[in-house]
A and B are shown apart, each in its own frame.
Chain A
Amino acid sequence: MSPSLREAGLFAGLALLVAGIFAWLGAAYGVRMLAEAACYAIIALGLTIQWGYAGLFNVGLMGFVAIAAFTTVLVSFPVNDAFWQGDGPVMLGQVALTLVIGVAVTILLSRSTRIGLPKGLRTALTLVAAAITYLAVQGQLDPAATLIEREAGFVGGLGLPVWMGWVAGGLVAGLLGWAMGRITLGLRADYMAIATLGIAEIVKAFLKNADWLTRGTLTVSPLPWPVPTPQELGFVASRSAYLAVTAVMIVVLYVLLERAWHSPWGRMMRAIRDNEVSAAAMGKDINRRRLEMFIVGNFIIGLGGAALITFTTIFDPSSFAPLNHTFLIWVMVILGGAGNNLGAIFGALLVYVIWIMSEPVAVFLFTTAEQWGESLFGWEAPSDLYTRALQMRVFVIGLTITLVLRFAPKGLLPEKVVKYD
């Protein structure tokens, strides 16, 4: 079967599936599902750059999504007057000033070998300066945080347009990726996985506990939308408008990524991925190129994550369950076909539809099993059967990953190998 026929067939099947869901559960539900799937498709495109183009293993997806979503809240949430009129901004300004001075002194001291200080002394002085900076910032931040929480709740946003929030979210995610990449890209892939897992946990812990900044477990809602909200237009119309926005984003990203894939730059990336040693022998700066990929990928992941959280209208730091959602996206990419942009989009839509539908299916299966067990063996089911049934879906994600990697490592829409004569 030719690749284009295969693509057409798979997408036609997907369209039939979606049409069935529209007919069964109604248009409002169907459009919501598609809009969320579109946001996941953007994230999957970002991941396919990292994994499919460059072979980078990012396990901290949810950390990057969370930090991008938080940046969106900070930029586009309405201004909180109680915060700006109180003493909070001044105190935060002092904290920022202390931080800037401390970081500057620390960096200067770390360069002090240039004026002839011995290396051991340099390291000691740098560490002491860093520790003092940390303690000073922490000491100033605590009263500021308490004051803001008492008087204003949290800092609120800047009230800027939503698209600016999304772009800012992507940029911050890219910046975090730059910092991570600088540390781990020179080392073997496993270290990168461990480090990204760690950074995701830290981002989550910070967003959850910094109540003055994010309201923590109290959550921030409703987030502003880039299109009229359901209250103004009704569910179907406003969700369709949102879907249109995300669809345009996907198309733009897809065109750009396809061009990048076929450009000399994309060819170089595949060369690095497939044979690092020979690419290095050709004079390519491998770690620098990988860093580029990691940052671009994280930017797109942040963009998609910001769009996803905006769609749900609520920013809840404890909702970024790292494992399920991170590996849901991984399944989208490897099942759809790593290194194939169309495959990533297809995988995202298909896997998300299945994921959404699997909840009622799992519950149905387990309630049936419970009834059978009760009537046949007198088995008394545990009371938390519903939550346990949902855990089954985690098992299925894991099983899909291992099966796809073993039996279909290229995915449903395999990478198109370009031959040069």
Chain B
Amino acid sequence: MPEAGLLAILPMNEIVFFLNKVVIAGFIIGSVYALGAVGVTLIFGILRFAHFPHGDMMTAGAFVALVLLWIFPGAGAAVGLPTAFVLMPIAMAVTALFAVGLDRTFYRPMRKAGVKPVVMVMTSIGVMLMMQGLLRLFAGTGTRQLYVDTDAKDIYRIPLGGRDLVITEPQLLLFATTIVAVVALHLFLTRSRMGKAMRAVSDNPDLARVSGISIDHVVRTTWLIAGALAAAGGTLLALDVTLKPDLSYNIILPIFAAAIVGGVGQPYGAIAGGLLVGFSETLAVFNWSVLLRPLRPYLPEFIEIPAKLAFVPTEYKIVVPFFILVAVLIWRPTGIFKGRVNI
């Protein structure tokens, strides 16, 4: 059969390795960035400042899920899913309310005083430091597991000839949640009154105000959505890897990069940007020699294939989102989806 012949020629082992290391891994980390970047870009668009504590809000959401886990340890077994995932909606609600509270306590008084945007950013950094201090104070600096169910993580292995394609249960749940969140957000922004009001405020706050839109309502909804999505992203990331207070600091720069690449104030752009940054990271640290090695017999003698051929060494992963950010700021400051630059 020709198909079998083709499969035999193709280096399936290496291709599946590529799929595992780049496509799946990129999609996972990209989804997490996207869930964070949507919140950042909504806040950026409506309140006009970069919300630095967003990473900590994601971590806080994961810790809320951890506390819920201690209170209802049996919730997952009843449904057959990881307990933390079953409890995630409650964690999302709690974090959403927490985000509104944060706004009431710290940001609203500053807004009412009419401070410059840069002072808002500084306030948000103050809030970030407070959240980090509190998280570490109560949770310590150690690493915890959010996946505590007695049975080990379900790992699906899809045989493709040679190596298996590997996806774990938390990763599937992450894909599903991201897709549901994106569709729900789209419907909300395009069909509901509040969603349309949010877009109006983002486009032109003065015009929105004179046409009778309550800015306070819109701001509250923004924080609710941002907080809920942040909690979902944080919980799912912690479920896939581990939960530690340092989680936030490593994801905040890629999240900002994703929001700016996608165009500030553009939720769809943020999702595309998140995936772009995620894939770029995994592509940059991927060892390309693995894919080149099967070509060895076809290459001329003088070309050597080095043992390690990655664009960026793994320890410099942080450079990737930064370079994307700088490149976008230089060549297309509005982002790929035409957001705003100067508000």
Chain A residues within 8 Å of B, Cβ to Cβ: 55, 57, 59, 139, 183-184, 187-191, 193-195, 197-199, 201-202, 205-206, 208-209, 323, 327, 330, 334, 382, 384, 387-388, 391-402, 405-406, 409
Contacts and interface: CB of A to CB of B under 8 A. Distances in A.
Interface stretch (B132-140, B184-192, B267-275): B132-140
A198 B323 CA distance: 9
Given A193-B121, A384-B142, A395-B130, A188 B342 contact: yes
B342 A409 contact: no
B117 A392 contact: no
A201 B52 CA distance: 15
Nearest to B129: A398
Contact of B329 (A184, A208, A402): A184
Contacts of B119: 405, 409
Contacts of B141: 384, 387-388, 391
Given A183-B329, A406-B110, A395 B129 contact: yes
22 contacts: A55-B118, A183-B330, A189-B118, A190-B44, A191-B50, A194-B50, A195-B322, A199-B322, A327-B125, A330-B122, A330-B125, A388-B137, A394-B132, A398-B130, A398-B132, A399-B126, A401-B123, A402-B130, A405-B119, A406-B110, A409-B115, A409-B119
A190 B49 contact: yes
Contacts of B140: 382, 384, 387-388
Nearest to A407: B109
A388 B134 CA distance: 9
A391 B130 CA distance: 10
A139 B306 CA distance: 9
Given A205-B316, A392-B133, A394-B129, A187 B121 contact: no
A135 to B, nearest CB: 8
B106 A402 contact: yes
B50 A193 contact: yes
Interface of A is mostly: helix
Contacts of A402: 106, 123, 126-127, 130
B318 A205 contact: yes
B180 interface: no
Interface of B is mostly: helix
Nearest to B138: A388
B18 interface: no
Interface residues of B, number: 51
Interface string B30-42: 0000000000000
A397 B121 contact: no
Contact of B137 (A205, A330, A334, A395): A395
Contacts of B49: 190
A396 B130 CA distance: 7
Contacts of B151: none
Nearest to A389: B137
A195 B125 contact: no
Best-surrounded residue of A188, A202, A409 (most CB of chain B within 10 A): A188
B127 A188 contact: no
Contacts of B333: 187
B109 A406 contact: yes
The 5 closest A-B pairs by CB, nearest first: A395-B133, A398-B129, A401-B126, A398-B130, A394-B133
Given A57-B118, A190-B118, A388 B136 contact: yes
A199 B325 CA distance: 11
Contacts of A189: 117-118, 121
A123 B133 CA distance: 46
